[in-house]
Amino acid sequence: MSENNGNTLLAFIVGGIIGAGLALLYAPSSGEETRRRLREQVDQARDRVQQGYESAVDTVEEGMGKVTEIIEERKGEVVTAYQAGKEAYQREKGKHIKETA
């Protein structure tokens, strides 16, 4: 999940919580009923935030798994290229030494 998407999701959730709270406060009902509704809304919001957090963690873990796979796949290629470069350097170094000697 990109940083921008995370901020948008958080802003949406916070806005929903504030809006729900204000709606309950201005609704014509008893204080006890309003507090009960507020508790329910807070519990629901907490559940949504927890689900969003778990989803974000899953997405990050999945992305890290993919990155790890790619690194493992490319590691062999890098080692091979390094060895080839090292051998080419040694050959050219040997040629240069022969030419200057």
Residue 72 has pLDDT above 70, yes or no: yes
- pTM comes to 0.45
For residue 81, what are the domain limits? 3-100
Find, among 86, 87, 89, 83, the residue nearest to 75 by Cα: 83
| pLDDT for the residue 101 | 66
* Distance, CA of 34 to CA of 30 (rounded, Å): 6
Number of structural domains (the chain) is 1
Task: Please say whether the beta carbons of 86 and 36 come within 8 A.
Answer: no
Residues in the chain: 101
3-38 pLDDT, tens digit per residue, is 566 678 778 888 888 887 777 677 776 778 878 888
What is the percent of the chain where pLDDT is above 70?
A: 90
| pLDDT for the residue 36 | 85
| pLDDT for the residue 1 | 46
| pLDDT for the residue 73 | 83
